[in-house]
Structures are given as structure tokens and as C-alpha cells.
């Protein structure tokens, strides 16, 4: 039985490696095609998926060929086991180096057993991220100053973490936004050091920040908003002095309404709410208005 289990394990392992080689080849061909794009109407036109959740691999390939980047280093947090991520293709295809941070030791231990860990210059840190510790987490790994890309997706304090980061100045920032909050109000969940999305509200819809709040923060930090991915969960920002031919957008111009049906009832069962019903589910919960610096209700 043990011998059979080992044979099955090696079969699945080799199958995964073969499949990864195939999708990397396809990704390489698409990346070359993306490099030739001179003008697009929206970032969605550049999308393709290799390791990202949606078409973010393509968007990132497009942007790194439009934005002058001196230091090809990335930082990404909220990566889980790093099989699906915004920076894995940068590591595999473009040979960037980087730092990834996740709060799960099980996830980070897995990453260290993946071939990608020894094949590339990848630093892995296990930590729950807060506004108080993020700069130390980064600087402790010998990373500071200008870097190529920062990707933030922690389903909660995303706005507050980006606001707190001072030790690095990325040329490109990818950050998750909560489409349910709409395109107009500059709001985020109030900062709570131990914020956990599933515990904050049973619906799983109360997290993160609106696109407008992130655009305001980006402007304060010297970034221009250049668009969203087509599924409406990631916003892209570029240092203003690096924009080149890229067009700066308003929050309303770049906002994309997500179609995610990830709402849950009090027992944790999916309810598949859509459209305005999602907002109604969390209406009345407290949010922080980053323009007036006051707490108000959705």
C-alpha cells in the first residue's frame, strides 16, 4: 500500500511539473505578445492568467514594459501557498527576486518545499501583518528604497497597510479593493490590528477599502490610478513620474463592479447574493471616511 501511495505521489508531482511547464510556455508566448502592445483601451485588454487569480499576470507584464523599473524586486503579501499569486510569473518568467509574507506557517512551510524556493531568490516570512509591523517585516529582509512592484491582498486592512508603508517606494502597486463599497465613497473598514474578514461579519463582504479611498491614498503617496482588472478586485497604481504613455484615471473611470457571489449566512453557508443585495447585507456597518477622517455607517 505504501509503495502504491509513493507511486501515486510521484505521478501527481511529475504531472504538476509537466502542466506548469506547459502553462509557462503559453505564458511566455502571451508575454511576448503583450510587450508589443502600443495602446490599449483598458488594462483588461492586456490580461492573461498563468498563476494569478484572474488576468493580472498579463496586466503586470504590460505595465513592467511601460514603466521604467530600476530594481526588479517585488513584495507580495496574502499569498497563502503561493500557487496562485500576482508575482509567481514575475519570478518564473522574468527572474525577478522578491519577498512574500503570509500569516499561515503551514502555507509558508509549503512554499519552502516548492522547487520555486531554491530555483529563485525568494524570501518567505511568516507573520500576521499589521500597520505597526509591516515596515520592520520588510526592512528586516534587507529590502528598502525603490522596488519594482508591491502587491497587497489581505482581505481587511489593505488601505491601512499601504498607508503605513514607508520603507519601500514601489514603481507599481497592485492592491485589492472592495467593489461592494461602490465607486464614490472614500471609505475603508476601520483599522483593527487583528482584523479577520470572516470574523468581522458573517457575510464575508465586510472588508478592505473602496476604490475611491485607495485613489486618494495613492495620490497622497505620489501614484496615479491606471485601472482595474476585469473581475473588479484589483486596482493598479503607477508612480506619477513613471506614467509615460499610461493614462491616469479617476476612481469612477477605472472602477469595475465585481460579480463575486461569495456572501455567506450566519452558519457559513454560501448565499450567492448579487448586485445591490450584497451592499444591503452589510448596510449599517461602520466604515472610516478617509476624506472627513470620521467613522460613519454604510
Bridge pairing between strands 223-228 and 122-126: unpaired
Exposure of 101 in the CB half-sphere (CA atoms within 13 A)? 23
**For residue range 23-53, what is the model confidence (pLDDT) as tens digits?**
788 888 888 888 888 889 999 999 999 999 9
pLDDT-derived band at 2, boundaries 50, 70, 90:
very low
pLDDT for position 18? 59
pLDDT for position 8? 46
pLDDT for position 1? 44
Q: Where are the beta strands (DSSP E) in 108-167?
A: 122-126, 145-152
Helix axes 2-35, 56-64, angle to 10 degrees: 40
pLDDT for position 268? 94
Domains and CATH numbers, the chain: 2-297 (3.40.50.150)
Q: What is the rounded average pLDDT of the residues 273-292?
A: 97
How far apart, in whole angstroms, are the C-alpha atoms of residue 69 and residue 111? 27
pLDDT for position 247? 95
Cell of 185: 465613497
pLDDT-derived band at 14, boundaries 50, 70, 90:
low
Provide Rg for the chain, Cα atoms.
19
Percent pLDDT > 70 in the chain is 93
How far apart, in whole angstroms, are the C-alpha atoms of residue 256 and residue 243? 21
The reported pTM is: 0.92
* pLDDT over threshold 80, residue 56: yes
How far apart, in whole angstroms, are the C-alpha atoms of residue 8 and residue 172? 42
Cell of 10: 510521484
Q: What is the rounded average pLDDT of the residues 274-297?
A: 97
How far apart, in whole angstroms, are the C-alpha atoms of residue 176 and residue 189? 13
Q: What is the rounded average pLDDT of the residues 77-91?
A: 94
* pLDDT over threshold 80, residue 6: no
Amino acid at each position: 500500500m505504501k509503495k502504491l501511495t509513493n507511486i501515486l505521489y510521484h505521478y501527481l508531482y511529475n504531472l504538476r511539473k509537466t502542466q506548469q511547464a506547459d502553462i509557462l510556455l503559453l505564458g511566455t508566448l502571451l508575454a511576448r505578445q503583450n510587450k508589443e502592445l502600443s495602446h490599449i483601451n483598458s488594462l483588461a485588454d492586456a490580461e492573461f492568467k498563468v498563476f494569478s487569480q484572474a488576468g493580472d499576470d498579463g496586466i503586470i507584464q504590460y505595465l513592467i514594459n511601460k514603466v521604467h523599473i530600476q530594481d526588479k524586486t517585488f513584495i507580495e503579501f496574502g499569498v497563502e501557498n503561493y500557487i496562485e499569486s500576482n508575482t509567481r510569473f514575475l519570478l518564473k518568467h522574468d527572474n525577478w527576486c522578491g519577498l512574500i509574507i503570509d500569516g499561515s506557517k503551514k502555507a509558508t512551510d509549503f512554499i519552502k518545499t516548492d522547487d520555486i524556493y531554491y530555483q529563485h531568490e525568494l524570501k518567505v516570512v511568516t507573520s500576521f501583518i499589521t500597520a505597526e509591523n509591516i515596515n520592520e517585516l520588510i526592512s528586516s529582509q534587507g529590502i528598502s528604497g525603490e522596488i519594482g512592484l508591491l502587491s497587497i491582498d489581505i482581505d481587511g486592512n489593505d488601505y491601512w497597510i499601504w498607508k503605513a508603508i514607508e520603507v519601500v517606494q514601489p514603481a507599481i502597486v497592485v492592491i485589492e479593493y472592495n467593489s461592494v463599497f461602490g465607486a464614490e465613497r472614500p471609505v475603508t473598514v476601520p483599522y483593527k490590528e487583528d482584523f479577520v474578514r470572516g470574523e468581522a461579519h458573517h457575510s464575508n463582504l465586510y472588508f478592505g477599502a473602496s476604490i475611491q479611498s485607495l485613489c486618494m491614498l495613492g495620490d497622497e503617496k505620489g501614484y496615479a490610478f491606471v485601472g482595474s482588472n476585469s473581475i473588479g478586485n484589483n486596482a493598479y497604481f503607477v508612480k506619477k513620474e513613471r506614467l509615460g504613455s499610461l493614462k491616469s484615471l479617476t476612481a469612477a473611470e477605472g472602477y469595475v463592479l465585481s460579480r463575486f457571489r461569495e456572501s455567506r449566512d450566519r452558519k457559513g453557508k454560501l448565499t450567492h447574493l448579487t448586485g445591490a443585495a450584497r451592499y444591503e447585507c452589510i448596510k449599517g456597518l461602520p466604515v472610516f471616511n478617509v476624506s472627513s477622517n470620521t467613522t460613519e455607517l454604510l
